[in-house]
Structure 1
Amino acid sequence: MSVNIGIIKKAAVHYRGSTDHLNDLNVFTDSRQQTEQGLFVPIVGERFDGHEFIAKAIEAGAVASLWMKDRQLPEEVPADFPIFYVDDTLGALQTMAKLVLKERQPKIVAVTGSNGKTTTKDIIESVVSTKYKTHKTKGNFNNHIGMPLTILDSPDDCEVMILEMGMNHFGEISLLSRIAEPDIAVITNIGESHIEFLGSREGIAKAKMEIVDGLKTDGLLIIDGDEPLLRSFNLDDFHTVTCGYGDDNGLRIGNVKAHIKGYSFTINGEDMTYHIPLLGRHNVKNASYALAVAQSLNIDAPSVQKGFEQLSVTGMRLETVKGRMGTMLINDSYNASPTSMMAAIETVKNLPDYNRKVVVLGDMHELGPDEENLHRQVAQTIEAPITDLITIGTKAQWIADEASKHSPSYSVHSYTEKAQALPFIESLLSNKTVILIKASRAAQLESLVEQLEA
């Protein structure tokens, strides 16, 4: 789970100090992070320069550091402290990641998409780990800094690496793909996330398709086959598998049935019935991507089902939590777009055994100049059996306003702050109530979940 000195030297222009006493080093970029045998990589950002924190990094456990050759080395750095001089520290970090992949040669599965990429990554890892030694992106380490750190943190015996690739501007997925050079690339869907920067859903699709820029020549592309924007690209240059509900998909989902703890479904009309312990019909499609990956890696159907059963997904994504008085809380507060919000509402509508179905919705961000209309579109999904709509925030107010226009069969309540909404939400708690809590990350609605937990 560390980088050998040979790889570090290859990424450097030259170095000073003895490296004979150094074995493999753990790479880190945050000088506040306590580590052992650490190689500090000082990143230069818009508002900070990591070179200024070399002393703190040494205190935290750094035994060596990369250093941009045009920067003056502070006097407090010990004369015998090894420094690897590079043209650019970020570029060197990415180069080391590429060298590690070349040395260890794991199969690379890259995952991107507007919604569902983290859950899909988790499902793929759970399935693939039934046969191979795996390593996956943790937390939000899915950008030009985080992904190289994920790669450098991989164990020497890793056989399959599942890398999540995030972005909010053109060119970012292309860079990540060219670093990782995936064997398999997955695009989960095209939504509205980051439309503020990419202009349109067509722009978002173009940015997501950058994942093929580093795809190996014999690589596999797996896409949402129900998305016309992805079908519009010339896919003849790639071995492509389409997944979805349409009859023309390579992996055709059928016989979908909702259960209190997840969904069952079949693929291509075959006898095998799969079960996933996840809420949300959209997660059936996410599971189909994992099936496509499994087939390419020669993992049989019983092993796939075993992977589904042992699944553990990253928190705050349709995460079920037991609330006070037996209430079922669905914590989906990690992030939100109109597509994912409407999918979450559909999930609540399809749950059996609850008399009161409550949706608590907060502001969505990064939707660009059309944000009001995109918020109002969410109201189209809210209908019986939903019994209560509660919005929190100034942008979410548009959802409530739109819902109120149509003489809804459910109650509509709108609040500016979380604290204002809490008393009414508490009045709805019972063992026959399910409450969805959904908003963009900035709204931090998970604090409501904490207050409502049993």
Structure 2
Amino acid sequence: MEILTLEEIIEAVSGELICLGNNKFFKNVTTDSRKIKKGDIFIALHGERFDGNEFVEEAALKGAALCIVDSIKYNEENISKYTSIIKVEYTNKALKDLAKYYRSKLDIKVIGITGSTGKTSTKDFVAAALSSKLNVFKTEGNFNNEIGLPIMIFKLDNSYDVAVLEMGMSNFGEIHNLADIARPDIAVITNIGISHIENLKTRENILKAKLEITDFFNNDSILIINNDNDMLNAYDNKNINIIRIGTSGDVNFKAFDIKLNENSIKYTIKEINTDKEHSLVIKALGEHNVLNSLLAVACSRVLSIDYEYIQKGINCFKASPMRLDIIRGKKFVVVNDCYNASPDSMIAALNVLSTINGKRKIAVLGTMMELGDKAYYAHYEVGRYASEEGVDLLLTVGEYKEVYKEGYGNPSYFKGFGSKQKLIDYLEKEVTEGDVILIKASRTMRFEDIVNKLEIINS
């Protein structure tokens, strides 16, 4: 992080200095009092179950040079002369305001990535593709919301050429707020599915919410979209520079001659208005990753990176944890895709399961959250698709386990469980050598517990 002055910070957060310490320059922001290092800025966020204002004394004791608060819950005599305190109306807003100001000081390109599914994989592909020519920062973990994204902004400095920032949402206005902070020069929308349809009601509304990523575009800004997605295919806006990628139709970057291998994917790229074709090999599985990586190619070409350097960067691609991790043990193979789940990502994961050689293909599936009145249909369709893809055994837990069974249609090769532990107990007894086991559910179900147990068995 670049240095900020006390005066800059006060103005950026519209705050009042109520305690002056002996520091005038500040570097590094944290919202977690447990992680404070000497010289940090501590922003005392509060929510329904916590209040950071209660930890200001602890923060000062650990060496925070500045605390930003919205209520006084400390004794002044317990604050050292080292620490300044600024009071604001709302600390949650101050976090965003300060990040927005800090972003405006940086001479750095920002690529913002959103979409119903594939955000993290696309982020990882984009960062990899750019990395052989540019110094790249990318969002860590799931820091993609109105608290996480500002924290990522504060990790930037002018040593970076480009920041690849993931932007998540569950309702209207959230992407707008993130775009206001990050001001992306290039925006990427991976697809429009039905994730968060419980809040937004229709896919048309989901599209509108995702398009908030363009709310602060200027004449030079570029929107890159996946034209294979029906909602994005139909979208057009003469006031926005749009680049389209896909496997068919009138697109700027087209992938064809796709070869899905057990450990990699190879395809050929045709770029509009050029005669040359370029092959790309990616160390990832699933046809959906053709589109995710093609979005990365488009970002790279916008930034004038040649294909040889794109391939060189892609060779360093490493997926984020729990996203189609292939874990090969002594007896069987586990496909760990338990970070999150939606209908589209379930289908993509089942496709990957079908490509891995093994004796039995076992799918262990849990609930897909935030689907509202689409939940029954979505779980039924995933069950049906599992049957079509040749899943030999479907194991489920959660409130929609019987719906999966209806869709799967083969009760002899289906088992539903009343708890995750009972499912684990069954796997311990029944998994056999040569099995390939997909583990997938929404984040709240914590299916990594199942993966951890299988890794122990398989070691």
Task: Give TM class, smaller chain.
Answer: over 0.9
Contact 1:334 1:441 in 2 (8 A): yes
Instruction: Quickly say closer, same or farther: Cα 1:63–1:393, change in 2 above 3 A.
Output: same
1: CA distance, partners of 2:17 / 2:52: 19
2: CA distance, partners of 1:284 / 1:183: 24
Query: 286, 289, 301: which one pairs with 2:292?
Result: 286
Equivalent positions of 1:6-405 (< 5 A) are: 7-11=8-12, 12-18=14-20, 20-68=22-70, 71=72, 74-78=75-79, 80=81, 81-268=83-270, 270-323=276-329, 325-351=330-356, 353-382=357-386, 383-404=388-409
More displaced 10-residue stretch of structure 1: 231-240 or 256-265:
231-240
- The Cα of 1:96 is off from its aligned counterpart by 2.0
Q: Deviations over 1:266-285 (max 9, x none)?
A: 11285422111112211110
2: CA distance, partners of 1:327 / 1:60: 48
- Counterpart of 2:208 in structure 1: which amino acid? K
- The Cα of 1:8 is off from its aligned counterpart by 1.9
- Counterpart of 2:284 in structure 1: which amino acid? L
1: CA distance, partners of 2:73 / 2:427: 57
Contact 2:29 2:43 in 1 (8 A): yes
Unaligned runs of at least 5 residues, structure 2: none
Contact 1:104 1:158 in 2 (8 A): no
2: CA distance, partners of 1:313 / 1:59: 39
2: CA distance, partners of 1:252 / 1:443: 37
2: CA distance, partners of 1:319 / 1:310: 16
Aligned residue for 2:96, secondary structure, equals helix
2: CA distance, partners of 1:60 / 1:140: 27
2: CA distance, partners of 1:257 / 1:428: 34
2: CA distance, partners of 1:2 / 1:443: 39
- Counterpart of 1:62 in structure 2: which amino acid? A
Match of 2:441 in 1: 439
2: CA distance, partners of 1:143 / 1:423: 36
Equivalent positions of 1:387-426 (< 5 A) are: 387-404=392-409, 407=410, 411-426=413-428
- Counterpart of 2:54 in structure 1: which amino acid? E
Q: Deviations over 1:212-237 (max 9, x none)?
A: 10223211100110123223333211
Contact 2:23 2:65 in 1 (8 A): no
Aligned residue for 2:318, secondary structure, equals coil
- Counterpart of 2:134 in structure 1: which amino acid? Y
- Counterpart of 1:151 in structure 2: which amino acid? I
1: CA distance, partners of 2:133 / 2:434: 41
Identity score, percent: 36
More displaced 10-residue stretch of structure 1: 264-273 or 162-171:
264-273
- The Cα of 1:40 is off from its aligned counterpart by 0.8
2: CA distance, partners of 1:348 / 1:144: 34
- The Cα of 1:45 is off from its aligned counterpart by 2.1
The answer to whether residue 452 in structure 2 is matched with residue 450 in structure 1 is: yes
Aligned residue for 2:348, secondary structure, equals helix
Aligned residue for 1:162, secondary structure, equals strand
- Counterpart of 1:354 in structure 2: which amino acid? G
Instruction: Quickly say closer, same or farther: Cα 1:118–1:60, change in 2 above 3 A.
Output: farther
2: CA distance, partners of 1:25 / 1:441: 34
1: CA distance, partners of 2:44 / 2:241: 40
1: CA distance, partners of 2:258 / 2:68: 53
2: CA distance, partners of 1:84 / 1:172: 26
- The Cα of 1:381 is off from its aligned counterpart by 1.1
Aligned residue for 2:35, secondary structure, equals coil
Unaligned runs of at least 5 residues, structure 1: none
Contact 2:57 2:74 in 1 (8 A): no
1: CA distance, partners of 2:432 / 2:27: 53
- The Cα of 1:2 is off from its aligned counterpart by 5.1
Instruction: Quickly say closer, same or farther: Cα 1:135–1:428, change in 2 above 3 A.
Output: same
2: CA distance, partners of 1:109 / 1:282: 21
Q: Deviations over 1:246-268 (max 9, x none)?
A: 22222111111111212111112
Aligned residue for 1:214, secondary structure, equals coil
Q: Deviations over 1:130-176 (max 9, x none)?
A: 11112111111111111111101113312101111111010100111
Aligned residue for 2:102, secondary structure, equals helix
Aligned residue for 2:33, secondary structure, equals coil
Instruction: Quickly say closer, same or farther: Cα 1:71–1:233, change in 2 above 3 A.
Output: farther
More displaced 10-residue stretch of structure 1: 267-276 or 220-229:
267-276
2: CA distance, partners of 1:390 / 1:87: 50
Instruction: Quickly say closer, same or farther: Cα 1:217–1:72, change in 2 above 3 A.
Output: farther
| TM-score normalised to structure 2 length | 0.92
Match of 1:4 in 2: 4
Q: Deviations over 1:395-426 (max 9, x none)?
A: 2331123212xx48x82121122222234434
1: CA distance, partners of 2:86 / 2:47: 20
- The Cα of 1:311 is off from its aligned counterpart by 0.9
2: CA distance, partners of 1:188 / 1:241: 12
- Counterpart of 2:258 in structure 1: which amino acid? V
Instruction: Quickly say closer, same or farther: Cα 1:424–1:44, change in 2 above 3 A.
Output: closer
- Counterpart of 2:354 in structure 1: which amino acid? K
| TM-score normalised to structure 1 length | 0.93
Contact 1:2 1:27 in 2 (8 A): no
- Counterpart of 1:403 in structure 2: which amino acid? Y
1: CA distance, partners of 2:333 / 2:197: 33
Instruction: Quickly say closer, same or farther: Cα 1:72–1:53, change in 2 above 3 A.
Output: closer
More displaced 10-residue stretch of structure 1: 101-110 or 395-404:
395-404
- The Cα of 1:17 is off from its aligned counterpart by 4.5
- Counterpart of 1:97 in structure 2: which amino acid? A
2: CA distance, partners of 1:188 / 1:396: 29
Q: Deviations over 1:379-404 (max 9, x none)?
A: 22112532111112222331123212
